[in-house]
Amino acid sequence: MRAFNFSAGPAMLPEAVMNKAHDEFLDWHGTGMSVMEMSHRSKEFMSLAAKMEADLRDVMAIPDNYKVIFTHGGASTQFAAIPYNLAAQTDTVDYINSGVWSTKAVKEAARYAVMNEVAVTEIDLPDFSTLKFNDQAKYLHICHNETITGVEYQTLPKVNVPIVADMSSNILSRPINVADYGIIYAGAQKNIGPAGLSISIIREDLLGQARADTPSLMNWQVYADNGSMFNTPSTYAWYLAGLVFEWIKEQGGLEAIGKINQRKAAKLYKCIDNSSLYFNEVETSVRSWMNVTFKFNKPELEAQFLKESNQAGLLNLKGHKAYGGMRASIYNAMPEAGIDALIQFMNDFEAKNG
């Protein structure tokens, strides 16, 4: 029995993907081997990798002048790799700090370049027109979806420097225009596949500028030159990511997925907004479609809510300790039935205890 797992990450993967991986686990396509047991240099794995990248390019409509690389160490490794690849120690880098993940990115990058934190927010985004961007900055970094509070960019600031976007928790959730960004990167464990793998989509002119002391496994050019196989890649994670990209295509692509995600989020926010027990603090115009947070007018009910929701098969609704309250992470793989079950539970709980 599969539960509705609202974990922020690692998170649910589509059941069809898990079933396919299960079916192919011992013998991938008649090779007599699991993908896990296969050389990354074999023609079988090379073909799997090529199809995986082609499907991602297709799904996201990635222009030809962008390279896609598959890196190690999750999104967090990129917090250092970004300044290493784009700035010298004395160069300025602009960051909008919109929460916990931005703060981590800021702290790491501040060790490798001159930090210009242009704004700090928590449950809102700044009015971009009032911000003092540095035109000499090597890039502007944003966290496109703050996973912990549930704050998501719905528009982008207009700047003269490349935008580097952490999309770990909202990549593949709706169509975006890749050309609006210099770099998009994302850890896999929310909307892509197993943790550890991270994907970066890099405009070609931003490659080849890494400082001389950049570790090879943080140097994007090294990944690009070696088909992301400078060392052994996380082969099984690539395989599962490939199955997820195929699944997205079968669902009708990001256009269709985006409509479903919008509907899922809208009905959950509506339930919260109509309630006198639950409330969401995020400025309405930047509410996340992927991570829906809510707090209680009677916080003493939180423990009971968690216990009873868990018993009802609605798992991992506890919010991040940095923010508190509850959080329902509703990535692509969360079926709409999971949202409906959560809303039903929330309404019943309020009727009994509110």
Ligand X SMILES: *Cc1c(COP(=O)(O)O)cnc(C)c1O
Active site amino acids: 101, 166, 190
The correct pick among 5, 97, 149, 168 for binding ligand X (CB under 6 A) is 168
Q: Check if the beta carbon of residue 196 is closer than 8 Å to that of residue 73.
A: yes
Does position 143 bind ligand X by CB under 6 A? yes
| Angle CA 285–134–129, to nearest 5 | 30
* Coil, strand or helix at 315: strand
Interface positions, 38-97, toward ligand X (CB under 6 A): 74-76
Binding mask 225-264 toward ligand X (x if CB under 6 A, else -) reads ----------------------------------------
Residue 157 contacts ligand X per CB under 6 A = no
Q: Output the CA torsion sign for 23, 26, 32, 33.
A: positive
Task: Evaluate the CA torsion angle 269, 152, 57, 77 in order and state its sign.
Answer: negative
Task: Verify binding: residue 319, ligand X, rule CB under 6 A.
Answer: no
Query: Residue ranges of the alpha helices (H) in the chain?
Result: 15-23, 43-60, 74-86, 100-109, 220-225, 235-250, 253-273, 302-311, 336-353
Interface pick for ligand X out of 7, 97, 147, 228 (rule CB under 6 A):
147
Q: How far apart are the first and last CA of the chain?
A: 31
187 forms part of the interface with ligand X (CB under 6 A)? yes
Residue of 157, 166, 228, 327 interacting with ligand X (CB under 6 A): 166
Residue 191 or 235 with smaller CB distance to ligand X: 191
Closest CB to ligand X: residue number: 74
φ/ψ of 249, rounded to 5, equals -60, -45
Minimum Å distance from CB 147 to ligand X? Answer: 3
Q: Say whether residue 101 binds ligand X (CB under 6 A).
A: yes
Which residues form the interface with ligand X (CB under 6 A)?
A: 9, 74-76, 101, 143, 147, 166, 168-169, 187, 195
